Amino acid sequence: MSSIAVDAMGGDFAPGAVVEGVDLALRSVSGIRKLLLVGDERVVQRELGRIRRNGDPRIEVVHAPEVVQMDEPAITALRGKRQASITVAVNLVREGRADAVVSAGHTGAAVAATVVRLRTLPGVERPGIATVFPSPSGPFVLLDAGANVDAKPEHLVDYAIMGDVYARHILRFEAPRVGLLSVGTEDAKGNDLTKQAFKQLAALPGITFAGNVEGSDLFAGSVDVVVCDGFVGNVVLKCSEGLAKAFGKFLKVLLQKNPVRKAGALLSKNAFREFKILCDAEQYGGAPLLGVNGVCIIGHGSSSPMAICNALRVAAESVDHRLNDRIVRRLGELGPKRGLQMETSRE
């Protein structure tokens, strides 16, 4: 059973959507012992009263008078607003009062606060955001989706190892296939980063390396883990989100062109409903920041109550599966040249 610190002021629809998501999680997610809602105490208590959750023993409100706004630099969370909700929430993990932190607020602030306050796991130089995508054959995980816009080959190797662990224990793949995102499937294709990373991944034991994968093949089901630098990963993420929304609008317009199409759409409404759910990022929960010494789940800025609920579910699962301990162990097994000291993570 886990205790999770929640950035109650983070997100476009906070604190209302966050508090409603907490309500959903307490009703449907197992493995949660306590939720610590971090934010302006008066505002958060008012929202709890609105949904009749005042006095719930599983909820504790931790006062944080400041908020890092979306247009502010990430460093604001560390220097300018030391009492910001995301900083206070991360500190709860550092102090051992919480096992994980969940935020749908400023991504850069969440990454900065988590890395500085919690540090990285032994052997990990750069953490990566792992985002789950749907495909016709099942989900796959891509990282980094935006934690670091620049990367070295060894960072991509770390992403591959951490993504492999996540795919095994959270997505339940027995032997995840790891692909390197590049501009061609041939070994020699790509820039200096991908060429060097390819050589290191191909020589890495214990990982099922499937070679290069092109952007057009991401959703073909050929790989279960895709690694790239955060710049490319974030572009893929945003393009995929935009394409999914555009496709829905195109389809709606085309199906309303004449009565025959409208009738066909009515007969297929259940299939369309299932397709919408399949492509809805909210169903997959927030994206874990893998590689930090503590569990951090980052939600989309426009997270709805359901998205917050699923982010809390992912946080509870990560704690329950001792994900960080597994990552540290795997890094030690696959990277003896790093000279890792086998340490126990905060989990």
Output phi, psi for 186, to 5 deg. -65, 150
Pairing of strands 177-181, 295-298: unpaired
- Which of the two residues, 266 and 101, has the higher pLDDT score? 101
- SS3 at position 290: strand
Contact between 132 and 213 (Cβ < 8 Å):
no
CA nearest to 50, candidates 283, 285, 305, 286: 305
Output phi, psi for 111, to 5 deg. -65, -45
Average pLDDT estimate for 54-63: 94
pLDDT given at position 247: 81
pLDDT given at position 333: 86
Tell me the C-alpha distance between 92 and 179, whole Å: 36
CA nearest to 286, candidates 156, 154, 101: 101
CA nearest to 4, candidates 301, 306, 317: 317
pLDDT given at position 136: 84
In CATH, the number for domain 129-277 is 3.40.718.10
- Kindly report the average pLDDT of the chain as a whole number: 89
Tell me the C-alpha distance between 256 and 244, whole Å: 19
Tell me the C-alpha distance between 264 and 16, whole Å: 38
Residue 339 has pLDDT above 50, yes or no: no
* Upper half-sphere CA count for residue 37 (Cβ side, 13 Å): 32
Residue 131 has pLDDT above 90, yes or no: yes
pLDDT given at position 337: 45
- SS3 at position 66: strand
pLDDT given at position 92: 97
Tell me the C-alpha distance between 313 and 102, whole Å: 10
pLDDT given at position 336: 53
DSSP tag of 209: E
Percent of the chain with pLDDT over 90: 67
Residue 280 has pLDDT above 70, yes or no: no
Per-residue pLDDT reduced to its tens digit, 147-195: 989 999 999 999 999 999 999 999 999 999 999 999 998 888 899 999 9
Bond prior to 144 in cis (omega within 30° of 0):
yes
Per-residue pLDDT reduced to its tens digit, 212-241: 999 989 998 899 999 999 999 999 998 988
What is the location of CATH 3.40.718.10 in the chain? 2-124+291-321, 129-277
Task: Annotate 56-91 with b (16+ C-beta within 10 A) or e (fewer).
Answer: eeebbbbebebbbeeebebebbbeebeebbbbbbbb
Between the two ends of the chain, the Cα-to-Cα distance in Å is: 12
Tell me the C-alpha distance between 159 and 143, whole Å: 6
Per-residue pLDDT reduced to its tens digit, 1-13: 899 999 999 999 9
CA nearest to 306, candidates 14, 24, 10, 6: 24
Q: Indicate the pLDDT class of residue 245, thresholds 50, 70 and 90.
A: confident
pLDDT given at position 344: 37
Tell me the C-alpha distance between 70 and 110, whole Å: 11
Tell me the C-alpha distance between 20 and 8, whole Å: 10
pTM of the full predicted structure? 0.88
pLDDT given at position 277: 63
Contact between 316 and 2 (Cβ < 8 Å):
yes
Percent of the chain with pLDDT over 70: 93
Residue 135 has pLDDT above 70, yes or no: yes
Tell me the C-alpha distance between 183 and 177, whole Å: 19
Tell me the C-alpha distance between 224 and 205, whole Å: 17
DSSP tag of 294: S
Determine the topology of domain 2-124+291-321 in CATH.
Isopropylmalate Dehydrogenase (3.40.718)
Asked whether the CA dihedral 312, 246, 221, 275 is positive or negative, the reply is positive
Residue 279 has pLDDT above 90, yes or no: no
Tell me the C-alpha distance between 335 and 260, whole Å: 61
